[in-house]
Chains A and B, each alone.
Chain A
Amino acid sequence: MTDPIAPPPKKDPQAVTLRPELPPVQRSRAALKLTAAASRGGFALQVCDACGTVSYPARDACAKCLSTALTVKPVPPGGEVIAETTIRTSTDLYFRQRMPWRVGMVRLDAGPSLVVHLHGDVAVPGRVRMIHKLDKGGNAVLMALPEGRSAHMEDDPEYRELTASPKHRRILVTAGRGAVGQAVAQALLKAGAAHVFVGVAEPWKPFAGQEALANTPGIEVVPLDLTDTRSVAELAASIGGKTDILVNTAEHVRPGGAMDGGMIAAQDAFAVNVFGLQRLAQAFGPAMRGRGADGVNSAAAFVDVLPVSALAANPAFALHSATAAARLSLLQSLRAELRPGGVRVMSVFTGPVDDAWREHVPPPKVAPAQIARAVVTALAEGIEDSFVGDVAKDVAARFYDDPKVTEREMSQ
């Protein structure tokens, strides 16, 4: 049984902050396809289109029939662990910081033998359930878990490395005036966050839900205006060194096509949705990147909740879609910039939120509580790209099938 992780002691300001190191990051292109699958959750390996053989490690041709048509597909995750070791010495700096490290050999029911990270609760030999997660270097790795649940299993140190668990972490939620930000803050607190800062612009203006925030122990309202560089910088100066997870829930939304509306609304949308994100990245990113290996409450993730129209525009919300696409692009760059610190950048794509600006949009729509659940799941399970609600899942499925077809479908 896993020992539950104790809350970390107050940081000794004179102690050296461990420099973030990454596990080996080089991968073949075939292996990166496994990473792409793992970034969306689920357990998938290469399957030969011609003969059905499941391949591992990732390769460019089937070792049974030499077909080069290998497709990454979900595979039954059951297997048998047949050997284990505990590695106690390594020349790699990342693993040296984390020794000892348990590793196993699993014979997957579907065929291949896998070298895996081995959860502490797995008995050898015995049955296991495989998962595919991104490691701190952003690459897919395999971990064997016990078949059933065991107590505190998410506190296993090797498992925790593969997630950005909110447990014992201090979190900033950026847009507390909205229902989404409030729901996310409450959900994170319930999921074990040590403290949740909730950013509120122009805090002297009253807003719905204000009292519930103020009356929740563990939640602290802080002034934050994403359209004001100084405001963002001031907050970072105050809490940037203890922001372990940042969740950006800000969204400026107005309906209208590319030929409609004024430039002011368009500029406001970019000011919040895109430049607001950029200000957060500039003010909070460097300190987070430097604290990626800072113990139990190391910096772990930068999460953005963004519209799924980032993938394919919704012409009825043209500027809103344009900001979403810009936001997605910015996140891709930020992901590369935060990776050296082992800090994950997570995108939570949503369908239309059920609010006043989208009252005329037909259902299904997304409730703030759904988004809150998705944010917690993404962090707890280390999912890089998640999709909330039926619309977001549907758009994603169409987009990964064919982006051009999706463009046409979105305009029908």
Chain B
Amino acid sequence: MPPALMKRPRAPYRDIAVAVPVSLPYVRYSIDSAHWWIARALKALCDGAGIVPADVDGLSVSSFTLFPDSAVGLTQHLGLTPRWLDNIPMGGASAVVALRRAARAVEAGDATIVACIGADANQVDSFRKLLSSFSRFAQDASYPYGYGGPNGSFALLSDHYMRTTGTTREDFGKICVSQRDNALTYPQAIMKKPLTMEAYMNARPIADPIHLFDCVMPCAGAEAFLVTSLDVARDLGLPHAQLTGAIERHNAFPDDPIQMRGGWEMDIDELYGMAGTTPDGIDVLETYDDYPVIVMMQLEDLGFCPKGAAKDFVRAHDLTSAGDFPHNTSGGQLSAGQAGAAGGYLGLVEGLRQVTGQSLSRQVPGAKRALVSGFGMINYDRGLCTSAAILEGPGPQEGAGT
């Protein structure tokens, strides 16, 4: 390869602050539109930061249900005049990707304060309509086969993962049960009842080997945060975390016959290198968890255990926020609910709260460094987008906040 084409490492982030974690309480069904949810999230960001909407000069939006609008229509709809605008259609990878791009915009001076919002409506029948126009490959080559939607796709991945690694349903169950335990400490979680391993195992089958509690509950809601410089965050007196590393990758390993790993594997060394840390230095892990099998893959691809060994890792650790490996501390999407593209934001916003001592769920003691990862878009047979970011904050302190 000629030297000019050698891949150069990503430049480090110098002074990027992430602040004002916003989670609007989810509802199973709502007659309200994505615009409504985004407006409320933006208002909450402004109120939380003590600024007015005109101070927000950058906007990044992710939503499946904004159609026929995009971020463009929102500017007029909400009366904004941003000098930087982004629309990120990457599902569960959106939050980290939004953060990455907003951070570069702030570094370059293209924007001072960027509002990043993931929000979706969920009206009765929304989910069915969303599926029907998801992607061309899904339309041509996935939906005509039983129309299981994401359940069907993840069922195939789970079946193959279980066959090749010896992972059992109980191993998946431990992830789901632990997250439910966390969710019971998060007042905004959709799931309010404890989940036992017995109930998990006896749940009705959806698409073998996926059973009811392996699936998320689609709902309406919004998640959001602000990206700005450390200086601005300090001047505004905002508790904040610093972005120390972030990666994204799309359509990694296209020649793998079936998805066994995500794009994280290609970039993970660089992520830890940027942040000057290792998996051992992570206090809180927030993975993308639309199904437990993808949590297993993230544990491996993010370097917490060798490939294929996630089941042993899960068996050896307590994954609750009171345990030795705090994971998906607000319950993840499996227990907090999946509000469309907000699902991709859930972990980032929760991780931000944990490392800034603002947790609404059980606070992880001494949580100063969170790793947040995203995964999105089953275009045909596998998820194409992966992302991850490391946030460092002051951690929980006396009197909460900084």
Contact = CB atoms under 8 A, between A and B. Distances in A.
Do A and B assemble together? yes
Interface of A: 23-24, 26-28, 30-31, 56-58, 63, 82-92, 94-95, 101-105, 107, 113-117, 124-125, 135, 137, 139, 141-142
B155 A87 contact: yes
Task: Classify the interface of chain A: helix, strand, loop or mixed.
Answer: mixed
Interface residues of B, number: 37
Contact of B140 (A57, A89, A104): A57
Interface in B191-235: 204-210
A104 B152 CA distance: 10
A89 B144 contact: no
A83 B139 contact: no
B68 interface: no
B381 A113 contact: yes
Contacts of B131: 91
A28 B139 contact: yes
A113 B208 contact: no
Contact of B148 (A87, A94, A114): A87
Contacts of A117: 145-146
Contact of A83 (B136, B148, B149, B160): B160
B155 A115 contact: no
A115 B141 contact: yes
Contacts of B143: 24, 92
B163 A83 contact: yes
A304 B165 CA distance: 53
B157 interface: yes
Contacts of A26: 132, 139
Given A87-B152, A91-B128, A125 B205 contact: no
A28 B140 contact: yes
Nearest to B162: A83
A30 B209 CA distance: 33
Contacts of B140: 27-28, 30-31, 57-58
Contacts of B145: 101, 103, 115-117, 141-142
A27 B140 CA distance: 5
Contact of A56 (B141, B148, B160): B141
Given A87-B207, A89-B206, A105 B160 contact: yes
A24 B381 contact: no
A85 B141 contact: no
A271 to B, nearest CB: 41
5 contacts: A31-B140, A83-B160, A101-B145, A103-B155, A115-B381
A103 B144 contact: no
B151 interface: yes
Given A57-B380, A89-B206, A141-B144, A113 B257 contact: yes
Contact of B147 (A82, A92, A113): A92
Contacts of B152: 85, 87, 103
B156 interface: yes
Nearest to B149: A91
B54 interface: no
The 8 closest A-B pairs by CB, nearest first: A85-B155, A92-B147, A57-B141, A83-B160, A87-B146, A101-B146, A87-B148, A31-B140
Contacts of A84: 156, 159, 208
A87 to B, nearest CB: 4
Nearest to B160: A83
Interface of B: 127-128, 131-132, 136-137, 139-149, 151-152, 155-157, 159-160, 163, 204-210, 254, 257-258, 380-381
A82 B141 contact: no
B351 to A, nearest CB: 32
B380 A24 contact: no
Contacts of B146: 87, 90, 95, 101-103, 117
Contact of B207 (A23, A82, A86, A104): A86
A29 B208 CA distance: 33
Given A28-B139, A115-B156, A105 B381 contact: yes
A98 B160 CA distance: 25
A361 to B, nearest CB: 44
Contacts of B148: 85, 87, 89-90, 101, 103
Contacts of A115: 141-142, 145, 156, 380-381
Nearest to A105: B156
B208 A23 contact: no
Contacts of A114: 141
A179 B281 CA distance: 85
Contacts of B254: 63
A113 B254 CA distance: 10
A82 B257 contact: yes
Contact of B144 (A82, A88, A91, A139): A139
Contacts of B160: 82-83, 105
Contacts of B155: 85, 87, 103
Contacts of A24: 132, 139, 143-144, 147
A26 B147 CA distance: 13
Nearest to A56: B141
A124 B159 CA distance: 10
Contacts of A82: 160, 257-258
Nearest to B159: A83
Contacts of A57: 136-137, 140-141, 380
A107 B144 CA distance: 18
A125 B257 CA distance: 13
Contacts of B206: 87-89
Contacts of A142: 145
A24 B138 CA distance: 11
Contacts of A101: 145-146, 148
A142 B140 CA distance: 11
Contacts of B147: 23-24, 87, 90-92, 94-95
A125 B164 CA distance: 11
A234 B146 CA distance: 41
**Considering residues B132, B147, B156, which has the most beta carbons from chain A within 10 angstroms of its beta carbon?**
B147
A307 to B, nearest CB: 34
Nearest to A92: B147
Contacts of A23: 144, 147
Nearest to A139: B144
A90 B149 contact: yes
Given A86-B207, A88-B206, A91-B127, A28 B136 contact: yes
B163 A125 contact: yes
Contacts of A90: 146-149
Nearest to B382: A113
A333 B328 CA distance: 56
Nearest to A141: B144
Nearest to B211: A88
A114 B257 CA distance: 9
Given A31-B140, A82-B160, 4 more contacts: A85-B152, A103-B146, A105-B381, A115-B156
Nearest to B380: A57
Contacts of A63: 254
Given A31-B141, A56-B141, A115-B141, A85 B159 contact: yes
B332 to A, nearest CB: 22
Nearest to A80: B257
A60 to B, nearest CB: 10
A85 B144 contact: no
